[in-house]
Amino acid sequence: MSSRNAIRTTPSKQPADGHPRLAIVGRGPAGMATAIALLRRLRRPFHLWMIDAADFPQSFGNGPAGQALMSERAGQLSALADRPLDFVDWLKSGLGGGRAAVLPLRGFENVYVPRSVFRDYLTARFGEAFAARRDTTVQTVSAAVTTVRTASGGRLCLTLDDGEEMAFDQVFLATGHGRQGGESTSWQAAERLLWSRERKADAPLLLAGDGPRMAAILLHLRASGHAGPIRILSDGGRIPEPHAATLLDPLTPAMSAATGLAETLRHLRADGARTVGAGGSWQAMIDGLNCQWPALWRALPPEARKRYWRHLRAAHRVRSERIAPELHGRLLRDLRHPATELVDARILGVVADGVRVRRRGSRKTDVMPGRLIDCREDVVQPADGLLSEPGTAMQVEDDGRLTGWGAAAPGLHVLGRAAGCLRPDTRLFADTVRQIYRAATGLDAARTDLSARTLA
């Protein structure tokens, strides 16, 4: 099938009408939200390719991963920057007659929905935005992108894993955790171990991680009847923190972007102690900090930024990327169970039938026996390792533009989690949506730059 304004599933011949060619790599939430934003915001016609390595992109919404609850409330999951409650409105519109029964319980803004529902929302909004554009084509491609390079004429050339090369005017890398660190790898490992006939019931499972992925997989293992020992290997002994019971207004901490990191933290601790002492919530303090975070980060000198990545990042992430209170309660209940143990240790490597770890406070390394399910959510290599060209100081800007990457790459954007250590975002969906709309609006404003260039 190769008609205009239709989704196609294979890379196709280049349309020769001179409209700009855009590619989104990754069809997870960030890639889908980018497609929606481009379809809504870019006024001139364009051709869009959506490329994903997985057979089932958006796998976060399928199988047991789809039954797990979103970490953020419905009120914070709009994919439309101009309509912050769009997801809530979509939920309400789908409930029809059942709405009256649900409304009084908690209010839709505070509901934590299963991830399959969020996937359906993104798919629905994409379909609507696409249907409204008769001047645009969208093609889906099932392939991994293995390299990105600049080509002559200022275009960006992507190489696919079958060797095909495709040139684009603008490329949006929304590769999230990448192919290796992607969530489906963790769920597949859990399912394999859960249902494996060879596994002995009393052989320990080792769950590495400290975020929502670890919590969701632990609770899935228990809900599926696994009663055997589980060791949670968490560097720093952290587990996910809960949201407050209801949505609170962020409390802006008393600090200025010009204050150094150490000074800011001192203020924050003092403010936090006062706030909590007065019955306030630390969650509202952290949310207030995060509202100011981009400005604060810009004002930090390079040395303070390095210190942040080394010593503070993990704690900031765990306090910002929180889970539903009821999920947190279940996690704590499971941790009280003698079969679950939280181990403060760093994984050094995987060995036969176990992992080599260094426990906190020890100089020695141990081998911890068990089968590993790696649920760590750090993005080890930004953009799935595609940014290998040497760049002195690569950075991802507020609108996703990549700067400092080898040759000048005016059309290259890195969105959401794909930025990894190139951007210290707090990793909430609204941060990603803001970044995506800045990118789309910036493109629309720079319409002359977007004119299609001659193919390399």
Ligand X SMILES: Cc1cc2nc3c(=O)[nH]c(=O)nc-3n(C[C@H](O)[C@H](O)[C@H](O)COP(=O)(O)OP(=O)(O)OC[C@H]3O[C@@H](n4cnc5c(N)ncnc54)[C@H](O)[C@@H]3O)c2cc1C
Name the segment binding ligand X (CB under 6 A); options: 27-35, 202-210, 268-276, 309-317: 27-35
Nearest residue (CB) to ligand X, 182 versus 253: 182
Give 50's DSSP letter: E
| x/- map, 34-53, ligand X, by CB under 6 A | -----------------xxx
Interaction of residue 240 with ligand X, rule CB under 6 A = no
Per-residue contact string for residues 369-388; x = within reach of ligand X by CB under 6 A? ---------------x----
The CB-of-192 to ligand X minimum distance in angstroms stands at 18
Nearest residue (CB) to ligand X, 71 versus 290: 71
Q: Name the minimum Å distance from CB 352 to ligand X.
A: 29
29 touches ligand X (CB under 6 A): yes
Buried b (16+ CB within 10 A) or exposed e, 69-107: bbbbbbbbbbbbbeeebbbbebbeeeeeeeeeeeeeeee
144 binds ligand X (CB under 6 A): yes
Q: How far is the CB of 160 from ligand X (least distance, A)?
A: 8
Our finding on whether 216 is near ligand X (CB under 6 A) is yes
**In the chain, helix, strand, coil percent, each to 5?**
40, 20, 40
Per CB under 6 A, the list member of 66, 176, 253, 424 interacting with ligand X is 176
Nearest residue to 73 (alpha-carbon basis) of 108, 32, 105: 108
Cβ 254 to ligand X, closest distance in Å?
28
Residues 6 or more apart whose Cβ sits within 8 Å of residue 430:
76, 78, 84
Residue 147: beta bridge partners? 159
Cα-flanking dihedrals φ and ψ of residue 296, to 5°? -60, -45
Helices marked H in 107-250 — which ranges?
Answer: 115-131, 183-195, 212-223
Q: Which stretch binds ligand X (CB under 6 A): 178-186, 303-311, 348-356, 362-370?
A: 178-186
Lay out the sheet containing 366-369: strands in order across: 366-369, 354-359, 340-351, 230-234, 205-208, 371-374
The residue length of the chain stands at 456
Q: If binding is defined by CB under 6 A, does position 71 make contact with ligand X?
A: yes
Taking phi first (over 0 means left), then psi (-120 to 50 degrees means alpha), and beta for anything else, what does residue 445 get? alpha
- Residue 381: exposure state from Cβ atoms within 10 A (0-12, 13-18, ≥19): middle
What mask of x and - would describe binding to ligand X in positions 382 to 421, judged by CB under 6 A? --x-------------------------------xxx---
* Sites of contact with ligand X (CB under 6 A): 25-31, 51-54, 57, 60, 68, 70-72, 144-145, 174-179, 182-183, 212-213, 216, 384, 416-418, 428-429
